[in-house]
Amino acid sequence: MKKRAIFLAIVLTAIFSFTTGVFAAGRDISLPVPDKTGGKPLMESLNLRSSAREFSPKEFPPRILSELLWAADGINRPESGKRTAPTARNWQDTDIYVFLKSGIYLYLPKENKLKFIKSGNFLKLTGKQDFVEKAPLNLVFVSDFSKMDKAATKEEKMLYAGIHAGCITQNVYLYCASAGLNTVTRRMIDLKALGEQMGLTAEQTIVLAQTVGYRPKP
| Residues 129 and 151: beta-carbon distance below 8 Å | no
Kindly report the average pLDDT of the chain as a whole number.
Answer: 91
| pLDDT beyond 50 at 35 | yes
In which element (H, E) is residue 137 found? Answer: strand 137-144
| pLDDT beyond 70 at 180 | yes
Q: What pLDDT score was predicted for residue 218?
A: 80
- From the list 175, 142, 143, the residue with the least C-alpha distance to 69 is 175
Provide mean pLDDT across the span 200-205: 97
- From the list 19, 94, 104, the residue with the least C-alpha distance to 60 is 19
> Apex CA 60: angle with CA 189 and CA 87, to 5°?
55
Which DSSP letter does residue 32 get?
Answer: P
In tens, the pLDDT along 83-97 reads: 999 999 999 999 999
Residues 79-106 as b/e (b if ≥16 CB within 10 A, e otherwise) read eeeebbbebbeebbbbbbbbbbbbbbbb
Higher pLDDT, 68 or 11: 68
Confidence of residue 47 (pLDDT cuts 50, 70, 90): very high
Q: What pLDDT score was predicted for residue 4?
A: 56
71 backbone dihedrals φ, ψ, rounded to 5°? -60, -40
Q: What pLDDT score was predicted for residue 212?
A: 98
| Residues 148 and 70: beta-carbon distance below 8 Å | no
Q: What pLDDT score was predicted for residue 22?
A: 57
Q: Domain residues of the chain, as ranges? A: 26-214
Superfamily of domain 26-214: NADH Oxidase (3.40.109.10)
Separation between Cα atoms, residue 150 and residue 80, nearest integer Å: 23
Q: What pLDDT score was predicted for residue 217?
A: 87
In tens, the pLDDT along 1-18 reads: 545 544 443 343 344 344
pTM metric for this prediction: 0.89
